[in-house]
Structure 1
Amino acid sequence: MKHDLIIRNATIIDGSGHPAVTGDIAIADGKVVAVGEITGSATRTIDAAGLAVAPGFIDHHTHYDAQICWDPLLTPSSWHGVTTVVLGNCGLGVAPCKPDRRHVAIDDLVIIEGMPRSAIEAGLDWQWESFPEYMQAVTNNGTGINVGFLAPITPFRHYVMGDDAIERPANEQEQQQIGDLLSETFAAGALGFATSKLPVDVGYKGKPVASRIASTPELEGYARRLSSAGGGTIQIALISETGKLSDYETDLLDRLLTASNGPVVWLCLHTDNNDPDLPLRTLAENDALIQRGAVPEVCCRPLIMQFNLNSPFTFAHLDCFGPVFLMSTAEKIVQFKDPEFRQNFRQQLAEPGLISGNIWPYIRVQSSSLDSQQSLVDQTLASIATERGTDPLDLLLDLGIEAELNIDFIFAATNNHETQIGKLLADPRTTIGLSDGGAHADMLCDAGYATYTLGRYTRELGVMSLEQTIKRLTADQAELFGISNRGLIKPGYAADLVLFDPDSVGSPKTPKWADDLPGGNRRMITRPTGIAAVLVNGELLFEQGEYSGALPGQRIVAER
């Protein structure tokens, strides 16, 4: 039998967690047809001697909902060997959306995802109104990698409730309408739904995003809709304090589990700068809930945010910053001079939360437009404040005002303790993710989470074996999100594969700027090392970093 492609002499890590074997992989019609010693011929043969071959990575936490309209390759994720992504996370998205409400979706993306407004307005073609129409538009346009969808609750609430969506819970009639739209979306193949209670999720009009306003009974109703549709996965951005669950949050998870009869993935468990063991205690304290299917999402990388006071998403969870997002640069400068604003900032930062307390040793000056501030680059605000005998909060604002907000800072906010992170990554009760691919484009880029895990935690620190790491990044993700026939290298499964050098695979901790958004706008990206090739549904997408020109991605449809 002649195959389309044979990969020979590979170290095959099949995603099951079993020991790697040396052998060949035969591919035909987009699927793996044989694994082992293969004697047949093929249209093309790749000699993978010295390389590992694994299932393509499955990234279940991305925000490419808008970017997919102008970037069918979904970079940087695909560069790093990701062959399947899930959209709609945290309840954010661009559908459903009525034509006269498009500005609402754009405002949410601009404020939360850190994308320039001009880039979104230039890149979105709005070929849809309903969510099933959006999924079909993505399919019609073609993608380089596979795409699955979660129904994002925020635009569903806006579609039915208008501006009331950010003011109050839905009433009974509105819940019925939203539920009907969700049922239609699940029937069209969405994997589940996503929502948020995260304090930093502030969007349209500088107010909490619409999903944050949904009541617990309202969300339970949507979970029952998912169960009635045949089941699926719920994703919720939940944590209000780094590394721990509140009583409200555990109760909400319990109710969603009961109503949906399916897994609820919640984010996230990061290590706290002042108490790095806290997330490990949270795992132990909530073991019964987790065993029922409340799966915590963990991240391999420090949460390093680059920000300036023109785009202060870092402090979006503080009420005093809500109005700031709607101001011009000149208006922001006036606000930052106001003693009352400074007092509110100081008081709110002192309260327990995602980012709170003494953050100043973890914030450094990254760059400035002023010659007079160049000596401050790479110094922490804590050290500069000590040297000048001033308060670091006042220093932050004063430096920004002095530079007319053209001064950038870098903040190692959470997840700075590798020993504890390694334990979280290896714990089978957690799921590895939180790449946020497509989001926070002006602050960070964690789309290389898989290559970073392989390079840092597997090769350098030995936290997990190569086989176990691959399982965590592939088969485990597919199972959690109901993605069938992917995540393993075995006959009959889709030939989504990544070829990499185990001795060099990795990605940098710090991203770089790229001016490749629509209109020449910029975003942060990371490039991988050690990735030799990426195949999607049996077709080469990248080889030695070169794009093949193909768009072999498929839409992932829930099988219920």
Structure 2
Amino acid sequence: MTGGTQEDRVTRYDIVIRGGEIHNGSGRPGRVGDVAIRDGLIVALDQVEGRGVEEIDAAGCIVTPGFIDVHTHYDGQAMWENTLAPSSNHGVTTVVMGNCGVGFAPCRPDQHDMLVELMEGVEDVPEIVMTTGLPWNWETFPDYLDALDRRQLDIDVAAQLPHSAVRVYVMGKRGAGREAPTSDDLKQMRAITAEAIRSGAIGVSTSRNILHRTKAGEMAPSLFSDKDELLALAEGLRDAGAGVFQMIPQVTGNAAEEFALMRCIAETSGRPLAFSLLQMQTGDPGAWQQSLALLADAVADGVTMRAQVFPRPVGFLYGLDLSFHYFTLHPSYKAIAHLPLTDRVAALRDPDMRARLIAEQPSSSNEVELALCKQFKYAFPMGDPPNYAPDAADQIARRAAGLGLSVPEYALDLLVGDEGRAIFFLPGANYRDGNLDAARTMARDPNTVLGLGDGGAHYGMICDASYPTSYLQSWVRDAPPATAIPLPEAIRSLAWEPALSVGLEDRGRLELGHRADVNVIDLKALRLHAPTTAHDLPAGGRRLRQRADGYVATVAGGVVTYRNGEHTGALPGRLVRGARSAP
């Protein structure tokens, strides 16, 4: 018998990415070469002689690991649809959800409404979307993971156990009412945490942020939990010998005292702890710097802790077709809020309606919502492309004064612009009078990890899951040479560092044997578009979407999932159960 044709003897791969500048995620300089993929893994690098069933021309492009966002809220979206956008539109191939102590498991059948109300308030997911979209085919957290395991998605997901859900599950209405737990309650919380980790949860999460409230203004169950309750969760991690502890600390108060509590949790659990860190607009302007200094001391002492930071201002978005704007809580606007957008625009142009709205005051039992509406005057026109570092002179209140108008008068003129589709941006954190130095400093600190994209939540108020694109565009490609972040460092920050922080060491690097999650990006063509609204959630619910140009291809699990920003229909994404060691 003959040995077959020469073509038969050529090594075959599923995909070969040719001639791109490979940035492997280590932080080392890129090199031009090829990447070969077979059976979902990277199997050859540099000069690949064989052929791929699919060949991708990456000449002139950068080739990177798939990005990882460790702070999202796709807990519901992963159950009612197969694409985890906006994250998957921006090169993200793995997300970690269940952050901030909120989620949908564990949950008894008579507690569904409590968790829905909490998610509606804290994460701005409409009630009708959840009641229509959630199958509730689980009770315990292992049940929830099993339900996730049956899903087919465009990217991988890892889930965390949410503290507020645990509290309600164990204590019922006592937990929702933030009563102190009994010793038996604490034992149950500890056991539930260990059980969740052993069944595949990546960690446990909690929130101490006073802004986290239900739609009615009630504070989240986890807020103000005593130290012994938080340590019960930490002990559950210790019992399981795995998992991470994610926490949003108090955004006001003494930074040193809050950090001491977090350090105690990390030391008790013996597991990594990650906490959200922002430069707040109010309060102590140096609190973030104090937290970074305390973090450096803890790491030097051998305590595994990281701060999750955001590389641009955290942005609240306003508009007639979004959750909030200046008049959302005015009585006359509430009377027309149910109307189609075109009818509301017509109503707001009516002189009598305008006069009523200008004379009225907002009304709500939720003080956080009241504050959000009043802060509209500090927002900026969004623009396209979006400007995340606006000039302080363009603030709505300052523009109104310059035109000789009151804020309500000017707000009405702005809101009916573009037939009611105009969007306005309020830098909620990491921004002081146009200065983003704090965001840049936090992003480059050796003890921080990029995250806080919040994908899957804040459907009508925040669209921050696009940060990988803006980071590469604004901080790397377009920044002045003196302040530009080197491309290899930026890729490491988007891929390998977040992977390490949650123990997913099988991804985030372009190395032999690693999971084949890959982006091919035309960096010169990279362009982030302004957010837009779509009414495509369950029951016609509204959400913000944000597209980008420049993503030539995204590969997840060895399958091309996006070409030129368009979904191919492939759904290789699955639940990731627990930590993964490096190959």
- Place the TM-score, normalised by the shorter chain, in its bin: 0.7 to 0.9
How far apart are residue 311 of structure 1 and its match?
8.7
1:488 to 505, 509, 512: 509
- Match of residue 189 from structure 1: 200
Q: Secondary structure at the match of 1:434?
A: coil
**TM-score, with length taken from structure 1:** 0.84
Which residue identity does 2:430 align to in structure 1? N
Rounded Cα–Cα distance in structure 2 between residues aligned with 1:476 and 1:345: 37
Which residue identity does 2:36 align to in structure 1? A
2:563 to 543, 550, 554: 543
How far apart are residue 331 of structure 1 and its match?
13
Note if 1:23 corresponds to 2:33. Answer: yes
- Match of residue 4 from structure 2: none
Aligned residues: 523
Deviation larger for 222-231 or 265-274: 265-274
8 A Cα contact 1:454 1:506, kept in partner: no
8 A Cα contact 1:58 1:82, kept in partner: yes
Query: After superposition, what is the alpha-carbon deviation per residue over 1:411-469, rounded to whole angstroms, capped at 9, x for unaligned?
Result: 23222222332222112221111100011111120111111101110111153111110
Rounded Cα–Cα distance in structure 2 between residues aligned with 1:460 and 1:118: 42
- Match of residue 66 from structure 1: 76
8 A Cα contact 1:270 1:298, kept in partner: no
8 A Cα contact 1:272 1:414, kept in partner: yes
8 A Cα contact 2:281 2:430, kept in partner: yes
1:253 to 250, 262, 281: 262
- Match of residue 464 from structure 1: 485
- Match of residue 116 from structure 1: 126
Change (3 A) 1:107 1:149: same
Please list, as runs of the form range in 1=range in 2, the aligned pairs for 1:509-528 lying within 5 A after superposition.
Answer: 510-528=530-548
- Match of residue 450 from structure 1: 468
Q: Secondary structure at the match of 1:26?
A: strand
- Match of residue 4 from structure 1: 14
Rounded Cα–Cα distance in structure 2 between residues aligned with 1:127 and 1:98: 11
Query: After superposition, what is the alpha-carbon deviation per residue over 1:488-523, rounded to whole angstroms, capped at 9, x for unaligned?
Result: 011111001111012122424x42212221222211
Please list, as runs of the form range in 1=range in 2, the aligned pairs for 1:404-415 lying within 5 A after superposition.
Answer: 410-415=425-430
1:237 to 224, 227, 248: 248
Rounded Cα–Cα distance in structure 2 between residues aligned with 1:339 and 1:499: 48
Change (3 A) 1:359 1:386: farther
Which residue identity does 1:215 align to in structure 2? D
Please list, as runs of the form range in 1=range in 2, the aligned pairs for 1:321-336 lying within 5 A after superposition.
Answer: 329=334
Which residue identity does 2:298 align to in structure 1? L
Rounded Cα–Cα distance in structure 1 between residues aligned with 2:527 and 2:225: 40
How far apart are residue 157 of structure 1 and its match?
0.9
How far apart are residue 312 of structure 1 and its match?
7.6
Rounded Cα–Cα distance in structure 2 between residues aligned with 1:339 and 1:81: 41
8 A Cα contact 1:453 1:506, kept in partner: no
8 A Cα contact 1:32 1:494, kept in partner: yes
Query: After superposition, what is the alpha-carbon deviation per residue over 1:357-379, rounded to whole angstroms, capped at 9, x for unaligned?
Result: x9676235899xxxxxxxxxx87
Query: After superposition, what is the alpha-carbon deviation per residue over 1:120-157, rounded to whole angstroms, capped at 9, x for unaligned?
Result: 22211112111111111112021111111111111111
Change (3 A) 1:339 1:110: closer
8 A Cα contact 2:121 2:216, kept in partner: no
How far apart are residue 248 of structure 1 and its match?
3.2
2:288 to 279, 302, 305: 279
Note if 1:429 corresponds to 2:447. Answer: yes
Rounded Cα–Cα distance in structure 2 between residues aligned with 1:16 and 1:99: 46
8 A Cα contact 1:359 1:413, kept in partner: no
Deviation larger for 438-447 or 278-287: 278-287
Which residue identity does 1:504 align to in structure 2? A
How far apart are residue 272 of structure 1 and its match?
3.4
Please list, as runs of the form range in 1=range in 2, the aligned pairs for 1:205-224 lying within 5 A after superposition.
Answer: 206-224=217-235
How far apart are residue 382 of structure 1 and its match?
5.5
Change (3 A) 1:95 1:313: farther
Which residue identity does 1:79 align to in structure 2? N
Tell me how large the CA RMSD over aligned residues is: 3.6
Note if 1:147 corresponds to 2:157. Answer: yes
Change (3 A) 1:415 1:37: same
Rounded Cα–Cα distance in structure 1 between residues aligned with 2:27 and 2:254: 31
Where structure 2 has 5 or more consecutive residues not aligned to the other structure, the ranges are: 1-10, 338-355, 384-393
Please list, as runs of the form range in 1=range in 2, the aligned pairs for 1:30-109 lying within 5 A after superposition.
Answer: 30-109=40-119
8 A Cα contact 1:231 1:260, kept in partner: no
8 A Cα contact 2:170 2:189, kept in partner: yes
State percent identity of aligned pairs. Answer: 32
8 A Cα contact 1:303 1:415, kept in partner: yes
Q: Secondary structure at the match of 1:211?
A: coil
Q: Secondary structure at the match of 2:132?
A: helix
Which residue identity does 1:83 align to in structure 2? T
8 A Cα contact 2:246 2:274, kept in partner: yes
